[in-house]
Every structure is written in C-alpha cells, then in structure tokens.
C-alpha cells in the first residue's frame, strides 16, 4: 500500500512540474502554425574548396547571422542542417524576397585603382553609364507610377534610338532579335559596367579591413551614402592607394561582388599623404533601403563561400491560425470520443485510463516546453498518433484483466496478472515504434524529424504512464472496499458463476 502511495505522490509531483513548465515556458509553435517564412540555403563549394567543411559552414553561418540581425526581424533563427545547408526562420515575415537578396550575395568589397593610360576610355564609359542609368531610372519610375501625371518631367534624359544602336555596336554587342528598347538599354548597362570594372587593377584592400559601416544622407538630400571606417592596416592601405592616384585623373573604383558601384576621383591635395584617417564614404545615390542593405552586408563581412536559396516556404498568419484552430478542434473531438468509448467499454478502469491519458497529455506538453520542441503540423500528427498507442497499451491491459476475471480469478489478482501479461506485447509494440522513430529522425528531413520527435516522446511517456499511472491509480481505487467489485470491470453475465 505504501508503495502505491509513493507512486501516486511521484505522479502528482510530475503533473505539477509539467503544469509549472507549461506556465513558465509557453509552447513554441512552428511557422506553419503561426505564419512566417523559412528559407533553406545551400552552401556551394567554390574555387579551391571542393567540399564544404564544418568550419566553413560555421563561418558562413556567422556572417549570415550578423546580416540577419541587421535586418531587424524579431526572433529569427538560423540553424545548420546536414553538412552544407542552413535553415533560416523568420516568424511573422511575409515577404522573404528582401531577406533572400541580402543573404544570397557574397558582399566582397574591393577598392581598386584605375589602370594607367585608360583615362579617355573611362571618361567615355562613365558618360555612357550616366546616360543609360538616367534613362533606365526614368523608365522604371514611369512603370512604377501606374497613373500618368500631368506634370511635365523637367530635365528629360533621353537616348535616341540611333545613339543607342551606335553605342551598342561600338561596344561590340549584337542585339537579339525582338528585344525591346528597355532590354537593349539593360544589355548596354551590363556591358558598360563590365568594361568599367575591367579598367581597374585588382588591389589588396578589401572589406576584410573594414571595422564598421554606416549610412548618411548625401549632400543633395536626394539619396543616401554609405560610410566606411577601416582598421589601422586598412587605413594605411587606403591612404597609399589614394596617394598613388591623387591628382592624376585616375579613379578609385569601389567594387562590390564584381560590380562597380562607385567611381571617385582623388584631388591633388592628397598627393602628399593620401586620404588618411581611415574612413571613406561611398556615394552611389542609394535609396534608404538600399543603403541599409549594403551597410548590413558590409558590416557582416563577405561570405567565405557563395550560398544559394534552394527552398522558400512562407505562410500567412491567418492560414496558420486556421490550421491551429481546426487541428486542435479535430484532435480534441477525436479524443473526447476515445474517452467516451473507454468509459463505456471498460467501466471503472476506463475512467482510470481517461485520467491517466489526461496526465499523459500533460506530461507530453510539459516535455515539449522543456526540450523545447517546436510544434508544427506533422508534430501534432505525431502527438495524436502517440495517444493512439497509449490508448492501445491501456486496452491491452484491460482486456487481459477481463480475461482473468472471466477465468474466475479474484479481482486484485486479475489486475496484477493483467498488467504483467500485457507487459511483453506493450513493450514489443513500443520498441518497434521507437525503432521507426530513430530511422525517421536520423534519415528524414525537417518535417519528418518533427513528427519523429513528438512520436518518440509520446511512445516513451506512454510506456511510463500505462505501466505506472494507470496501475497506481487503479490500485489506489482498489484500496476502497466499496469499489472492489467485479461488476465495475465487466458485465456480471460474463463472470463465471463460481466467483463472488
């Protein structure tokens, strides 16, 4: 008797602990239940790196983490998956396109000096670039504003069809048939940018020597500049670079991921010592968002290896909420039916098993918040299925008890025998279930893993509750003589006449 009470005290303590856990650490809902975006990134080997090592994956993760923090999405998480993948979760974020863009770029910043003797060519290209950028910018603005305004657009940059064709042929470009004027302009823009970059020498000053990046409005007030601060070594390199071209008319190119974003001249006054002080600014007429994204990328440093976004999942919060509600209602109504079934078929032990199963659910949720397990739709499915297995354990035990009673055994003896005889089949069933869970968890992907975790927790707990909770509760009730009646276990008609 004392032993039963010991078990009972333990169960009560566990129930209180599970309740306290749930109250202090609320359950974490997966993105499919509360809305948000999930991006899977593949880290690609490049150059000398043939396979992605763990340190490189971690290095990529560090850089991406800094960039994500710069984006300012609350509660974002970044995890490594397998040997070369990263999964980023952005709760509440509906439009992952900006995150995808910021994450996907390498952000290799270089400061390059123009090759000697290319001044004339550079002048021509820069002029063409300004023209093309202006015309394209105007076209994009027109497309963006759906309703045409009556106000005349004042200085109207334009490039006649003839000039465009001339510029294209002078750069050796052939226009694909059927290309619109915008397509031709974009083609021209790309080629001009490529040629400008080719006119610069590679240099040793890169984003590695940056200590911080910021942004400020430019002098005209129309756009944003990105400001840079170098470390001591970078400051010295920057000074000597600028000194080498000061007053020569050669330009300093700021190249990001192989794309020239700004070209600056260095005045003759810096001939003596170069631009010292270790700071610089990039003016490229950025919008506020562009400046912020560039700042985030630069501050985060450049990615050691390129990454590619291979999976994007996003789900709206109302879809998520609907999923939670309907799945919960469905699961609860199913469980209510199970409870009714158990009480009708098994009578007193049925009531006990409903209590034990309620405890079982509480323990499950407590463990979810302890580990913590992020609940997703497959996770809920795993939970519901594990309840099925837990009920099975009870059914096995009670059927055995009934058999023993029908065979004419006493009530207490039947209960004990029922538990011990059911044990081996319960054990085998749960172990085979756990074997599947292990296979699923170690070989499956994200969704499958979530299912395997909740099912495994459910199976382990079900072994515990069926063999201790149900038993302890049943034994406790049996200590009351008024409840010790075989008719509370099965219809009297099924009892052998000999038993009393």
Partner 1 sequence: MTVTESPTPRFRISRHKRLAWWVSGLACLLSVVGLLVSWLSPGIGAPLKPGLDFTGGTQIQLERQCVLSDCGSITVDQLQAGLAALTLPAKAKEQAPSLASAKVQLLDGGQTLLLRLPVLEADQSQAVIVGIDRLAGPLKTTGTSVNTIGPTLGSQLLQGSLVSLLVSFAAIALYITFRYDRVFAFLAIVALAHDVIITCGLFAWLGIFFGIEVDSLFAVSLITVAGYSVTDTVVVFDRIREQKKALAQLPLIEQVDVAVDATLTRSLYTSLTTLLPLLGLIFFGGSSLFWFSVALAVGIAVGSWSSIGVAPTLLPVLSRR
Tell which positions 449-478 bind partner 1, by CB under 8 A: 451, 455
Q: H-helix or E-strand containing 160?
A: none
Residue reference for tokens 């406790």? 476
What does the alpha-carbon distance between residue 477 and residue 1 come to, in Å, rounded to a whole number?
11
Judge whether 214 and 295 are in contact, CB under 8 Å.
Answer: yes
Judge whether 262 and 253 are in contact, CB under 8 Å.
Answer: yes
**Measured from the CB of residue 35, what is the shortest distance to partner 1 in angstroms?**
7
Of the ranges 242-250, 289-297, 310-318, 480-488, which one interacts with partner 1 (CB under 8 A)?
A: 310-318
Dihedral sign from CA coordinates of 470, 471, 473, 474? positive
**Measured from the CB of residue 277, what is the shortest distance to partner 1 in angstroms?**
35
Site string for partner 1, 19-48 (x = CB under 8 A): -------------x--x---xx-x------
Binds partner 1 (CB under 8 A): choice among 160, 442, 482, 500: 442
Question: For residue 154, how many other CB atoms are within 10 A of its CB?
Answer: 5
Is 363 a residue that touches partner 1 (CB under 8 A)? Answer: no
Q: H-helix or E-strand containing 261?
A: strand 259-265
Tokens of 373: 């397990």
**Measured from the CB of residue 111, what is the shortest distance to partner 1 in angstroms?**
22
Is 181 a residue that touches partner 1 (CB under 8 A)? Answer: no
At residue 87, what are phi and psi to the nearest 5 degrees?
Answer: -115, 125
Judge whether 130 and 196 are in contact, CB under 8 Å.
Answer: no
Is 431 a residue that touches partner 1 (CB under 8 A)? Answer: yes
Is 424 a residue that touches partner 1 (CB under 8 A)? Answer: yes
Is 271 a residue that touches partner 1 (CB under 8 A)? Answer: no
**Cβ within 8 Å of residue 183, ≥6 positions away:** 176
Is 399 a residue that touches partner 1 (CB under 8 A)? Answer: yes
What does the alpha-carbon distance between residue 470 and residue 487 come to, in Å, rounded to a whole number?
19
What does the alpha-carbon distance between residue 119 and residue 479 come to, in Å, rounded to a whole number?
101
Is 343 a residue that touches partner 1 (CB under 8 A)? Answer: no
**Measured from the CB of residue 141, what is the shortest distance to partner 1 in angstroms?**
16
Binds partner 1 (CB under 8 A): choice among 173, 195, 317, 355: 317
**Measured from the CB of residue 373, what is the shortest distance to partner 1 in angstroms?**
16
b/e per residue 74-112 (b: at least 16 CB within 10 A): eebebebeeebbbbbbbbebeebeebbebbbbbbbbbbb
Binds partner 1 (CB under 8 A): choice among 310, 370, 483, 492: 310
- Considering only residues 371 to 390 of the shown chain, the ones binding partner 1 according to CB under 8 A are 377-378, 381, 384-385, 387-389
Is 433 a residue that touches partner 1 (CB under 8 A)? Answer: yes
For partner 1, the closer of residues 381 and 460 by Cβ is: 381
Binds partner 1 (CB under 8 A): choice among 329, 370, 371, 412: 329
Site string for partner 1, 80-119 (x = CB under 8 A): --------------xxxx-xxx------------------
Is 168 a residue that touches partner 1 (CB under 8 A)? Answer: no
Binds partner 1 (CB under 8 A): choice among 265, 436, 479, 494: 436
Question: For residue 175, how many other CB atoms are within 10 A of its CB?
Answer: 14
How many chain residues touch partner 1 (CB under 8 A)? Answer: 82
Nearest to 32 by CA among 458, 450, 452, 456: 450
């Amino acid at each position: 008797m004392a032993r039963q009470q010991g078990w009972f005290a333990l169960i009560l303590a566990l129930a209180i602990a599970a309740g306290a856990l749930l109250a202090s650490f609320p359950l974490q809902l997966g993105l499919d239940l509360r809305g948000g975006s999930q991006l899977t990134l593949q880290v690609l080997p490049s150059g000398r790196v043939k396979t992605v090592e763990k340190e490189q994956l971690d290095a990529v993760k560090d850089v991406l983490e800094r960039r994500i923090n710069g984006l300012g999405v609350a509660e974002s998480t970044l995890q490594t998956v397998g040997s070369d993948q990263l999964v980023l979760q952005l709760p509440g974020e509906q439009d992952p396109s900006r995150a995808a863009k910021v994450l996907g770029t390498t952000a290799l910043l270089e400061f390059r000096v123009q090759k000697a003797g290319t001044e004339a060519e550079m002048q021509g290209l820069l002029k063409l670039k300004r023209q093309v950028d202006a015309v394209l910018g105007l076209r994009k603005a027109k497309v963006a504003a759906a309703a045409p305004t009556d106000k005349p657009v004042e200085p109207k940059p334009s490039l006649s069809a003839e000039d465009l064709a001339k510029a294209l042929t002078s750069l050796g470009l052939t226009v694909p048939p059927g290309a619109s004027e915008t397509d031709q302009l974009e083609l021209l823009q790309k080629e001009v940018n490529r040629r400008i970059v080719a006119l610069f020498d590679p240099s040793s000053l890169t984003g590695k020597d940056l200590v911080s990046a910021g942004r400020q409005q430019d002098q005209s007030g129309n756009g944003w500049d990105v400001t840079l601060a170098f470390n001591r070594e970078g400051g010295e390199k920057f000074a000597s670079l600028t000194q080498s071209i000061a007053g020569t008319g050669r330009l300093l190119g700021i190249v990001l991921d192989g794309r020239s974003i700004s070209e600056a001249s260095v005045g003759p006054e810096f001939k003596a010592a170069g631009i010292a002080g270790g700071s610089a600014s990039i003016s490229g007429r950025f919008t506020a968002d562009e400046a912020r994204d560039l700042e985030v990328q630069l501050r985060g440093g450049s990615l050691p290896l390129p990454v590619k976004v291979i999976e994007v999942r996003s789900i709206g919060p109302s879809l998520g909420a609907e999923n939670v509600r309907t799945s919960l209602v469905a699961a609860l109504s199913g469980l209510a039916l199970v409870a009714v079934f158990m009480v009708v078929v098994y009578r007193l032990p049925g009531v006990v098993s409903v209590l034990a199963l309620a405890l079982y659910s509480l323990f499950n949720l407590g463990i979810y918040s302890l580990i913590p397990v992020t609940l997703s739709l497959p996770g809920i499915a795993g939970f519901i299925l594990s309840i099925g297995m837990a009920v099975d354990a009870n059914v096995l035990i009670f059927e055995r008890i009934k058999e023993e009673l029908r065979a004419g055994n006493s009530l207490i003896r039947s209960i004990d025998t029922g538990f011990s005889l059911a044990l081996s089949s319960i054990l085998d069933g749960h172990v085979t279930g756990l074997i599947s869970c292990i296979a699923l968890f170690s070989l499956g992907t994200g969704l499958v893993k979530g299912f395997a975790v909740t099912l495994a927790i459910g199976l382990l707990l079900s072994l515990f509750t069926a063999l201790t909770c149900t038993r302890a509760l049943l034994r406790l009730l049996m200590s009351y003589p008024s409840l010790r009646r075989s008719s509370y276990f099965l219809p009297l008609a099924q009892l052998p006449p000999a038993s009393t």
